[in-house]
C-alpha cells in the first residue's frame, strides 16, 4: 500500500553505534497526529534504504529493503552490519520509489583496540514541548560531534493545549494532545508530536544518539512499579508497558531491547576504542520507592536504609563487574538523576532530593566502592534531570572538601523544560556555598559538550538567551577541565 502523501514527516535517526554497526530508524506517518499514522492497521510496508560513504550517495556501501510493521506503529529499526570502524556514513529511506526521507549522517565507533586520541559528545536531556522551542537542538545539529547522549525526559506526559503552551502556536494543535498520556495510542502520538519538530529532526539526522530515559517517558517520579500517585500496581504496570513499547518504537534501539510487557532492558555498555567505556544506566525501572514520600526531605534511617537501591541489584552487579573488567582510560556513566550530594542550605543538616542519588545514599556508596575497588582512575558521570548546568566533583566525603575527589559529574541543562531560565537564579549564591564540590551553576537552557582526550576531559556548557521564542543564539557560558589521573574540575 502506497501512502498518498509524504510518509517521512518524523525524520530519521541513528543510534547505539558499534565499530561495525549502527541502528537506523524512521517512522512512516503520512498523518502523524492520527492513531495509526494514517496507514493500514495490519501488515507491513516495505521501506528501501541506502547507506553511503558520502553525502551525495555516489559511493553506495549497502542497500536493501526493511519492513515497517504496523505492529511496531510503522517504525523501522535497521541494524546495519559489516561497516568500517570510526567512519561517517550517510543514510536515507524510500517508499515506493516516490517518497524519499531526509538524509541522516551517522558514525561508527572506533575499534575496541584503537588508540583513539579524542571523542567529542553532546549531552542532552529534558525537552518539554510546551515549555519552549528546540533551538538548542538546532545548534547541536551544527556541532562537530562523534555522538550524542540523551539522558532522559525525551517526552513529558502532561496535557498540551491547542497553543502548545509557551510555543504560542497560531495554528492549533489537535485537541487529542490535551490530556495526560496513559495508553499506547497516547504515547505513540506524543512521540509523533515531539518528533514533528524540525530542530529535533535535525539533531537526530546530524549525529548518532545513545538514549536512556528518566521518569517522564512514563510519568512523573515513578519508581519501579510505583507511580507518583500510588496507582494500583497492575494499572501502573499496564501504563508502563504502553510507555516502554512506544519508547522502543520511537528510539534508534536494537531488537534486543524490545520490551516484554512492562519490562525493557535499557542499560547497556559501549566501548569507544581504548579511550572510553560508556555504561548507560536505567535508574527508574528497578529503583526502590522514594523515601519519606519523595520531594526534598531530611535524610534519615528510611532514606539511608542499605536495602534500598536506585539501580536494582542486577544492574548494580553489572555496573561493578564492568568497572572491574574495564581497560578504558575513561569510565563514563551517562544516567538520569544527580549523582553528587546537593544541599539547599549551608547548615550541617540539609534537606535533600529523595528522587536523586541523594535519596539512595547506600546505592551511591556501593557504586563508589566499586569504582575504588576496581581502580577506576577516571570516572565521569553524565546527568540530566536538573534543568540547569552543574560542574561537580564527586567527593569521597561530601562533608569534607579536603577528602579525595573520585571523579567528576557533568549535569547538562534542559533543552526546553523550565522555559527561558536565567543565568543566576535566586538560589545561585546559596547553592554554590552549600555545595563546595559544585564548581559551576547556570540555570539557562542549552546542552553540554563533553570532550574526552588522553590527558583530560573537557566540559563545555552551552546556553541560550531563551526558548519561548525560536532562534536564540547559542554561546559558551563556561568550560571546565579535569586531568586524567587527577580528578577534579577547574575552569578552563
The contact set with Fe ion (CB under 5 A) reads: 126, 153, 417
Shortest distance in whole angstroms from residue 164 CB to Fe ion: 18
Q: Which is nearer to Fe ion, 75 or 417 (CB)?
A: 417
Please tell me the distance from the alpha carbon of residue 396 to that of residue 368, in angstroms, as a whole number.
8
Residue 460 CA: distances (Å) to CA of 108, 145, 284, 329, 330 = 24, 13, 27, 20, 17
Shortest distance in whole angstroms from residue 230 CB to Fe ion: 21
- DSSP assignments along 425-462, one per residue: -TTHHHHHHH-TTEEEEEEESEEEEEEEESSEEEEEEE
Q: Which three cell numbers stand for residue 248?
A: 522502543
Shortest distance in whole angstroms from residue 67 CB to Fe ion: 34
* Residues 483 and 437: beta-carbon distance below 8 Å: no
Q: Which is nearer to Fe ion, 77 or 389 (CB)?
A: 389
Question: For the CA atoms of the chain, what is the radius of gyration?
Answer: 22
Q: Which is nearer to Fe ion, 297 or 417 (CB)?
A: 417
Closest CA to 341 of 351, 328, 332, 331: 351
Q: Which is nearer to Fe ion, 384 or 407 (CB)?
A: 384
Shortest distance in whole angstroms from residue 337 CB to Fe ion: 10
Shortest distance in whole angstroms from residue 418 CB to Fe ion: 8
Q: Which is nearer to Fe ion, 331 or 416 (CB)?
A: 416
Burial of 72 (0-12, 13-18, 19+ CB in 10 A): middle
Shortest distance in whole angstroms from residue 477 CB to Fe ion: 20
Q: Which is nearer to Fe ion, 126 or 189 (CB)?
A: 126
Shortest distance in whole angstroms from residue 388 CB to Fe ion: 11
Taking the alpha carbons at both ends of the chain, their separation in whole angstroms is 57
Produce one character per residue of 188-218: b if its CB has 16 or more CB atoms within 10 Å, e if not: bbbbbbbbbbebbbbbbbbbbbbbbbbbbbb
Q: Which is nearer to Fe ion, 216 or 239 (CB)?
A: 216
180 DSSP assignment: -
Amino acid at each position: 500500500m502506497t501512502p498518498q502523501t509524504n510518509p517521512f514527516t518524523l525524520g530519521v535517526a541513528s543510534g547505539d553505534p558499534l565499530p561495525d554497526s549502527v541502528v537506523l530508524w524512521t517512522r512512516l506517518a503520512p498523518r502523524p497526529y492520527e492513531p495509526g499514522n494514517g496507514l493500514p492497521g495490519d501488515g507491513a510496508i516495505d521501506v528501501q534504504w541506502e547507506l553511503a560513504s558520502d553525502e551525495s550517495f555516489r559511493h553506495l556501501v549497502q542497500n536493501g529493503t526493511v519492513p515497517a510493521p504496523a505492529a511496531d506503529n510503522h517504525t523501522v529499526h535497521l541494524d546495519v552490519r559489516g561497516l568500517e570502524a570510526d567512519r561517517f556514513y550517510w543514510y536515507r529511506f524510500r517508499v515506493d520509489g516516490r517518497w524519499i526521507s531526509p538524509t541522516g549522517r551517522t558514525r561508527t565507533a572506533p575499534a575496541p583496540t584503537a588508540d583513539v586520541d579524542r571523542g567529542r559528545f553532546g549531552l542532552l536531556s529534558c525537552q518539554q514541548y510546551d515549555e519552549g522551542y528546540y533551538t538548542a537542538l538546532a545548534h547541536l545539529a551544527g556541532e562537530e560531534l562523534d555522538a550524542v547522549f540523551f539522558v532522559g525526559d525525551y517526552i513529558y506526559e502532561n496535557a498540551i493545549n491547542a497553543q502548545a503552551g509557551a510555543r504560542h502556536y497560531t495554528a492549533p494543535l489537535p485537541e487529542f494532545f490535551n490530556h495526560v498520556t496513559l495508553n499506547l495510542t497516547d504515547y505513540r502520538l506524543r512521540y509523533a508530536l515531539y518528533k514533528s519538530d524540525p530542530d529535533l529532526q535535525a539533531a537526530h539526522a546530524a549525529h548518532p544518539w545513545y538514549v536512556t530515559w528518566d521518569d517522564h517517558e512514563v510519568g512523573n517520579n515513578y519508581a519501579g512499579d510505583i507511580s507518583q500517585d500510588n496507582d494500583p500496581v497492575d494499572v501502573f504496570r499496564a501504563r508502563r508497558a504502553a510507555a516502554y513499547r512506544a519508547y522502543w518504537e520511537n528510539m534508534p534501539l536494537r531488537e534486543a531491547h524490545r520490551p516484554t510487557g512492562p519490562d525493557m532492558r535499557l542499560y547497556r555498555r559501549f566501548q569507544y576504542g581504548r579511550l572510553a567505556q560508556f555504561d548507560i544506566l536505567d535508574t527508574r525501572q528497578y529503583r526502590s520507592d522514594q523515601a519519606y514520600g519523595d520531594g526534598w526531605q531530611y535524610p534519615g534511617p528510611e532514606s539511608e536504609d542499605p536495602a534500598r537501591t536506585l539501580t536494582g541489584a542486577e544492574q548494580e552487579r553489572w555496573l561493578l563487574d564492568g568497572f572491574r573488567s574495564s581497560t578504558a582510560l575513561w569510565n563514563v556513566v551517562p544516567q538520569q538523576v544527580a549523582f553528587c550530594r546537593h544541599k539547599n542550605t549551608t547548615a550541617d543538616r540539609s534537606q535533600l532530593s529523595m528522587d536523586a542519588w541523594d535519596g539512595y545514599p547506600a546505592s551511591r556508596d556501593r557504586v563508589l566502592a566499586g569504582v575504588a575497588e576496581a581502580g577506576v582512575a577516571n570516572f565521569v558521570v553524565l546527568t540530566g534531570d536538573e534543568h540547569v548546568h552543574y560542574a561537580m566533583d564527586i567527593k569521597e566525603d561530601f562533608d569534607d572538601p579536603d577528602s579525595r575527589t573520585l571523579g567528576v559529574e557533568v549535569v547538562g541543562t534542559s533543552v526546553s523544560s523550565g522555559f527561558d531560565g536565567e543565568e543566576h537564579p535566586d538560589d545561585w549564591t546559596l547553592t554554590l556555598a552549600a555545595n563546595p564540590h559544585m564548581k559551576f551553576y547556570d540555570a539557562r537552557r542549552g546542552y553540554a559538550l563533553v570532550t574526552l582526550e588522553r590527558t583530560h576531559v573537557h566540559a563545555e556548557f552551552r546556553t541560550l538567551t531563551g526558548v519561548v521564542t525560536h532562534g536564540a543564539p547559542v554561546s559558551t557560558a563556561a568550560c571546565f577541565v579535569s586531568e586524567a589521573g587527577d580528578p577534579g574540575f577547574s575552569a578552563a
